């Protein structure tokens, strides 16, 4: 049965919200356990579909995996002899599966990984993964949809300059270098907190890594690593999602378990939008303004503004005072959601990597909010556009209004989308967001909402 969330506006998002481990980290931590024989335990694991997929992938490689969503733990027992092929049916469902490439080449001296699928929100090739491993002595080729890698003996250390600070390439090369002969230096490496998290787990496993959190990472290869227990870093994107929920709707949220230092740029922009933010005493409180001020944002690799939070800026600007310019520098195709916001009345003008958003009050009249699109501007929302973190793909989207005499609008979306929900939460209409996953609900003053949808807390 299809799940849905109904948002009756005007609504303010308010409540105390826990943040679990980062999806962008836990999947790579699971892959990193392949570097050591024995049982490793990862804690603070989010309850998302991607963890289930990665667990199955590791099982097919020969590992014993026990995933306990209730306890937020995953135990991975890695055998002495590993399989070396990552099957297409799993890799196509989750792009992060490519992160097993580096550990498999390091441990097995060969790997066959299906070319990844996942959320195709732009061009994310594997050129740097391939070039970095080749610089370490591996031979790579693409055959029948698989990336095949092999090395006669151990990988060897090298100095490799990444053309772009790719998170995935930095992770793969860092893991491969941990068991290579000699010293590997990664220049222009990614600096994300998730990179630091993986590096710290590898250090606990016995890896020699310097420069985590900087653009130059040095890895001294080790003969052998050992299993560990490691706690996943908090999910800064989920924390940022809730922060924007308060900003857009004028609510107040207290976010537990987040690390404000990972959101320095985001919090700076939210303060510029008029939010009051308190990060003292280990807590993270965001009070949204009566009406936000439009902000200008350009997405960049960390420590810049994260691309994953870009759609929320558009939603905020849509109800803000003034106009804001949003520039997407990371994933050029991350604009699919704007078509649905326009259906709800948002004023968004796209020009390549840029979007100008003209705001108007949250409580504007319904006749201006539910304007129909003309036939030549029918949905341009592909199945991959802005899905919830950790969800599977769903087929396209559609939208319909009840009739011209009513003031509600129903959206059929490929999974829940914060942008549409945040807009709905501050409108006068009833908005239905369909395609919501059943799992992962969090308490919010009497409502049940998914942790990746900042939608409805209480009626205000």
Beta bridge partners of 33: none
Residue 237 in contact with residue 24, Cβ under 8 Å? Answer: yes
Q: Quick one: which of 180, 183, 181, 173 has its CA closest to 126?
A: 173
Residue 247 in contact with residue 425, Cβ under 8 Å? Answer: no
CA 211 – CA 194 distance, rounded (Å):
14
Tokens for 318, please give them: 């849509």
CA 378 – CA 376 distance, rounded (Å):
6
| DSSP string for 220-261 | E--S-----EEEPPB-HHHHHHHHHHHHHHT-EEEEES--GG
Residue 311 in contact with residue 386, Cβ under 8 Å? Answer: yes
CA 422 – CA 426 distance, rounded (Å):
7
Among the listed residues 75, 77, 87, 119, the single catalytic one is: 119
Beta bridge partners of 20: none
Size (the chain), residues? 460
Using only C-alpha atoms, the chain has a radius of gyration, in whole angstroms, of 22
User: In terms of DSSP bridges, do strands 229-231 and 216-220 run parallel, antiparallel, or are they unpaired?
Assistant: unpaired
CA 379 – CA 397 distance, rounded (Å):
7
Burial class of residue 255 in the structure, from the number of CB atoms within 10 Å of its CB (0-12 exposed, 13-18 middle, 19+ buried): buried
| DSSP string for 73-137 | EEEEEE-SS---EE-HHHHTT-GGGGGGHHHHHHHHSEEEEEPP-S---S---SHHHHHHHHHTT
Beta bridge partners of 78: 38
CA 4 – CA 14 distance, rounded (Å):
20
CA-CA-CA-CA dihedral for 278, 282, 283, 284, to nearest 10: 60
Residue 32 in contact with residue 226, Cβ under 8 Å? Answer: no
CA 12 – CA 9 distance, rounded (Å):
8
Q: Quick one: which of 139, 222, 142, 127 has its CA closest to 174?
A: 222
Residue 181: active-site member: no
Residue 40 belongs to what H/E stretch? strand 38-43
**Which residues carry out catalysis?**
119
């Amino acid at each position: 049965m299809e799940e849905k969330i109904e948002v009756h506006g005007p609504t303010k998002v308010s409540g105390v919200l826990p943040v679990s481990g980062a999806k962008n980290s836990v999947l790579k931590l699971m892959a990193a356990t392949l570097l050591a024989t024995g049982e490793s335990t990862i804690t603070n694991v989010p309850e998302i579909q991607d963890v289930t997929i990665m667990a199955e992938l590791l099982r097919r490689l020969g590992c014993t995996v026990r995933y306990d969503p209730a306890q937020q733990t995953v135990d991975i027992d890695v055998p002495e002899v590993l399989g070396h092929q990552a099957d297409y049916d799993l890799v196509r469902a989750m792009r992060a599966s490519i992160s097993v490439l580096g550990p498999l080449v390091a441990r097995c001296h060969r790997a066959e990984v299906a070319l990844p699928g996942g959320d195709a929100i732009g061009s994310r090739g594997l050129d740097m993964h391939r070039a970095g491993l080749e610089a370490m002595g591996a031979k790579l080729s693409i055959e029948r949809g698989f990336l095949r890698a092999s090395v006669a003996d151990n990988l060897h250390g090298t100095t490799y300059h990444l053309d772009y600070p790719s998170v995935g390439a930095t992770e793969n090369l860092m893991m491969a270098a941990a068991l290579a002969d000699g010293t590997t230096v990664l220049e222009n490496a990614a600096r994300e907190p998730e990179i630091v998290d993986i590096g710290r787990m590898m250090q606990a496993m016995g890896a020699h890594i310097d420069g985590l959190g900087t653009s130059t990472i040095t890895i001294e290869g080790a003969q052998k690593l050992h299993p560990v227990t490691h706690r996943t870093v908090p999910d800064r994107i989920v924390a940022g999602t809730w922060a924007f929920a308060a900003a857009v709707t004028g609510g107040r949220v207290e976010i537990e378990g987040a690390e404000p230092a990972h959101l320095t740029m985001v919090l700076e922009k939210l303060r510029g939008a008029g939010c009051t933010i308190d990060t003292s005493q280990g807590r993270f409180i965001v009070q949204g303004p009566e009406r936000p001020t439009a902000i200008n944002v350009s997405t960049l690799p960390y420590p810049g503004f994260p691309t994953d939070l870009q759609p929320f800026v558009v939603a905020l600007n849509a109800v803000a005072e003034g106009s804001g310019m949003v520039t997407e520098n990371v994933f050029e195709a991350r604009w699919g959601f704007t078509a649905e916001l326009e259906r709800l009345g948002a004023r968004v003008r796209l020009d390549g990597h840029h979007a100008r958003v003209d705001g108007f009050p949250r409580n504007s009249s319904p006749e201006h909010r539910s304007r129909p699109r003309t036939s030549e501007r029918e949905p341009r929302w592909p199945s991959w556009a802005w899905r919830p973190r950790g969800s599977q793909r769903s087929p396209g989207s559609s939208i319909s209004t009840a009739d011209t005499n009513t003031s509600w609008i129903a959206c059929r979306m490929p999974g829940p989308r914060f942008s549409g929900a945040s807009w709905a939460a501050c409108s006068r209409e009833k908005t239905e967001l369909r395609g919501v996953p059943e799992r992962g609900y969090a308490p919010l003053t009497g409502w049940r909402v998914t942790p990746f949808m900042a939608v409805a807390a209480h009626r205000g």
